[in-house]
A and B are shown apart, each in its own frame.
Chain A
Amino acid sequence: MTDVHGIVYAYHSSPGLGELTRGRTNASLPFAGRYRLIDFALSSLSNAGVRDVGVIMQRDYQSLLDHVASGKAWDLSRRRGGMRLLPPFGDNHRGDYSGTAEALNGVIGYVRGIPQEHVVLLPADVLCNVDLAAAIQRHLAGGCGVTAVCTRSVPKGTHYRCTLGENDRVKRLLFRQRGAGPGVAALEIYIIRKDVLLLILDRCAQENRFHFHHDGLADYLAQGGSMDAVLHEGYAARIDNVEDYFSASMDMLQPGPRASLFPTDRPVRTKERSDVSTYYGEDARVENSLVADGCYIEGTVKNCVLFRGVRVAPGAVLENCILMQDTDVGEQAALKYIISDKNVSLSAYVTLMGSEKLPLVIPKNSAL
C-alpha cells in the first residue's frame, strides 16, 4: 500500500503525567512491560503497509530519538522513503505547538512534498491496535475527503466525540471531554486526502487557528466537506494523566484488553534490548502480573507490570505496582501502588505506598 503516507504527532507532553513525562514526551512513555506509547502508532502503520512515515517532534525528544532511532524495528528504515523525523524548523518562535494543526503547519514543507495522495494522521499517545489496513481500504472505497477512526466504547482520558448520520457519515464534531457522551469517540486517527489536508491547514494558518480537530475539521464539515467514520472494536485509551496511565497498565492484566492490543496478526514492534529470559527463584510468588524478559524475581509480585531487567530480591512484596526497566527492589521491601521510572533503586526494607487514585511515582534514576 504505497499511496498512503503516515504522520505521527509525537511532540506532546501531558502536564497530568507529571514526573513520568519529565524529560520525555507522551510518545516515549513506557507501557506494558516493554513498549513505548509510540510503538502502537508506528506498528499500526507498518502493519498496514504504510512505508513512508513522518514523526513530528518539538522538544524533549532525546528519549524518543533513542527509542525510534532509524525506524528499523518497524521496518521503516528504507533506502527510499521510510521514517523521517520532523523537528521544528528554525523560524518557530512561538513556543510549544498549541494544537495538531499548528504542528502540521510547523512542518508544512514536508507535508506539501508528500508524494502520496492520502495521509494518515495518528497521535503517538493513543493506545490502540487499529486495523489500519481495513480503515484505509474503507477510506479509499468510500470516497470521502476524510475518514475518522472512532470507537463506540468509552476510551480512558479526554477525547473528542462526533455524532454519526446514515452510513456512519460524521454529522457533527463535539468538544473534548472525559467519559461517555453522545455519538462515538474519535481516536484522532484520520485518513485524509492530501489536497483536503493542505486546504484545511492553509485555512488554519491564515486564521491563526491551531487545532486540527475542532478548528480544521469542524470548518471543513461546515463548508460541506464529507467525512466518514470507521469503528474500531477493540481496546482504546488516551493517556494523559497518571491515574489513567496506571489504570490502562492494569487493564493489560486482563485477557480481553491484552488480546486486543497485542493480536498475533498485528504485532506491536519495539526497540529490541536482547535481555535473557526471566528467572523465577525458589521462593518466587508471582500472580496476575505481566513480566518482560530479563527480570530476576525472588520475591512476591501480585497485580504488577514488570518491565525488562527488573530485580525483585527475596522477601520483597509488590502489589499493584508498575516497575519500569532495570528497577531494583531490595530484600523485604514492601511496595503498593508504586510506579517506578527507569533505573530506580529501592533498597532493602523500604516501605512505600500509593493508592489506586494516586499512585506514587518515583522519578527516573532515583535511589531510595
Chain B
Amino acid sequence: MKKSCIAMLLAGGQGSRLYALTAKVAKPNMPFGGKYRIIDFPLSNCANSGIDTVGVLTQYQPLQLNRYVGSGQPWDLDSTDGGVYILPPYQSAGERGSWFSGTANAIYQNMDFIEMYDPDQVLILSGDHVYKMNYAEMLRAHRAAGAGCTISVIQVSMEEAPRFGIMNVGDDGFICEFEEKPARPKSDLASMGIYIFDWKLLRRYLVEDEADPNSQKDFGKNIIPKMLAAGEKLLPYRFSGYWRDVGTITSLWDANMDMLSDAKLNLFDPQWPIRARSPIRPPHYAGAGARIVHSIVTEGCVIEGQVENAVLSSSVTVGAGATVAYSILMPGAVVEPGAVVEYAIVGENSRVSSGAHVGAQPDGSESWGVATVGPDVTVPPGVTVPASAMIYDSSEVQP
C-alpha cells in the first residue's frame, strides 16, 4: 500500500536525566499535563495532520509503552491499511541482530517497514517533546521548496542556544551549516528533532552511514552533516508555537506548570485535540473541605485537601488537611491526610503518608530544586523529603 508520507517515532531513549521517573518506563510514556503521556503529543499531531501510518521504535523499557500505544485506537490510528506499529529491535536469519545503536541506525534497521509503504517522504519524530504542530504544513513547505530534507527549527535565546543543535541559514534560505551544541552560536535557530526526508535520499545516506565505522549513527551528528557536506538542499521550517523538551526534572516540572496557563499551550482547542488512552474511572470528586485553585485535575481523583498550582493525573487522592502546591502528582499517587507536597513530582502509585513532607519552597540557594519521588514509593509518616531529593525506592526514606 503506497503512502505519500509515513512517520517514524523514535521512542527508544532512556531519558536518563529523569532518573527515578524513567528507571522502569521509557520517557515517551511519562505522564504529563494531567491525563496525557508525552507520546500523546506526536501521535495526536500525526493523526491531526492526516498521517495515518506511524512506526514507533522502542528499545528501552518498552512494556508499559507498548501497552499504552496498543492498537492506536485512542488516536484514531487503527485504520485497516495503516495505523501505529511498535517496532522493536529484531533478529534476522543468518544475522546476529543488534540493538539500535543510534537514531539513524534505528531507522536503518527498519527500512523494510518503510519500504512496505513506498513513501515519497518520511517524517522522523522523537517522543520527548510537548508541542502541537501541523506536520502537513511542514510537508507542503518541503515539497514546495524541492528540499531533500526539511528540519523544523525554533528560535531560542542566544543564551540557550549552546544547549541545542543550531542551524545557520544561507542567503538562499537553505541551511548552510549545522552545529551541535556550539559554544559560540552563530544563529538562534535550534533544531526541534523533527525531520522530513525524501525517502530515497535518506535511504542512500542511511546505507552509506551504516558502512562508516566512525559514525555514531545519529541524525544530528552524522546524517545531517553528511547531507550538508554533499550539497543536499536542507530547508529550515520555522515553528513559532509552544515547544518544550521534557528531558530533565526541571524542564518536566516547568512544562507541567505551563499547562496551567492556556496562553502557553491550549489543550482545550477542539481544532487540534490531543488524545490519550484514559483509564476507566468516574469523574473526580472534590469534597466538602476541598480547596482547588489554579490546578489541573483528572478523572478518578478524590480531593479532600488543598490543591494549588498543581497538575493531578488520573486517580490521585489528596486527603483532608493535606496540602499540595506547585507539584505534579502522577496517576494513582496518594497524599494522605495532613501530608504536605510542595515543589515536587510524585511518581505513579506512590504514597506520601500522613505528616510526611515532600519538597520545599525555593530558598534562593544554588542547591534548591524540585523534589522527586519515583513511582511505587511510600514515604512513611512524619518523614521529610528535602528539596532536590531523588527517591528511587522506599528503602531510601525510612524514618
Contacts and interface: CB of A to CB of B under 8 A. Distances in A.
Interface of A: 32-34, 253, 258, 261-262, 267-269, 272, 274, 276-294, 296, 305-306
9 contacts: A261-B282, A277-B35, A277-B298, A278-B298, A279-B296, A280-B296, A282-B293, A283-B293, A290-B284
Contact of A274 (B275, B281, B292, B298): B275
Contact of B283 (A272, A282, A290): A290
A282 B286 CA distance: 16
A286 B283 contact: no
Contacts of B295: 279-280
B75 to A, nearest CB: 9
Given A33-B282, A268-B282, A296 B292 contact: no
A289 B33 CA distance: 22
B34 interface: yes
Given A34-B283, A34-B299, A277 B33 contact: yes
Contacts of A267: 280-281
Interface stretch (B8-16, B173-181, B266-274, B357-365): B266-274
A258 B268 contact: no
A227 B34 CA distance: 49
Contacts of B33: 276-277
B285 interface: yes
Interface centre among B282, B287, B299 (most CB of A within 10 A): B282
What DSSP secondary structure best describes chain A's contact surface? loop
Interface residues of B, number: 36
A262 B283 CA distance: 10
B74 A274 contact: yes
A276 B299 contact: no
| Residue from the set B273, B284, B296 with the largest chain A CB neighbour count within 10 Å | B284
Contact of B285 (A277, A280, A284, A289): A289
A33 B278 CA distance: 16
B297 A278 contact: yes
Given A277-B298, A283-B293, A292-B284, 13 more contacts: A33-B283, A34-B282, A253-B285, A261-B282, A276-B34, A276-B274, A277-B312, A277-B313, A280-B292, A280-B294, A281-B293, A290-B283, A293-B299
A291 B283 contact: yes
Contacts of B287: 287-288
Contacts of A292: 283-284, 299
Contact of A288 (B274, B282, B286): B286
A294 B275 CA distance: 12
Given A272-B278, A293-B35, A293-B298, A278 B293 contact: no
Contacts of A281: 293-294
Max count, chain B CB within 10 A of own CB: residue among A267, A269, A291: A291
B18 interface: no
Shortest beta-carbon contacts, A-B, top 8: A277-B34, A33-B283, A292-B283, A267-B280, A277-B298, A276-B267, A262-B282, A274-B275
Contacts of A258: 282, 285
A287 B288 contact: yes
B286 A289 contact: yes
B20 interface: no
Given A276-B274, A277-B296, A280-B295, A291 B267 contact: no
B227 interface: no
Nearest to A285: B291
Nearest to B287: A288
A290 B285 contact: yes
Contacts of A262: 281-282
B276 interface: yes
B241 interface: no
Contacts of A291: 283-286, 297
A286 B274 contact: no
B290 interface: yes
B292 A284 contact: yes
A368 to B, nearest CB: 23
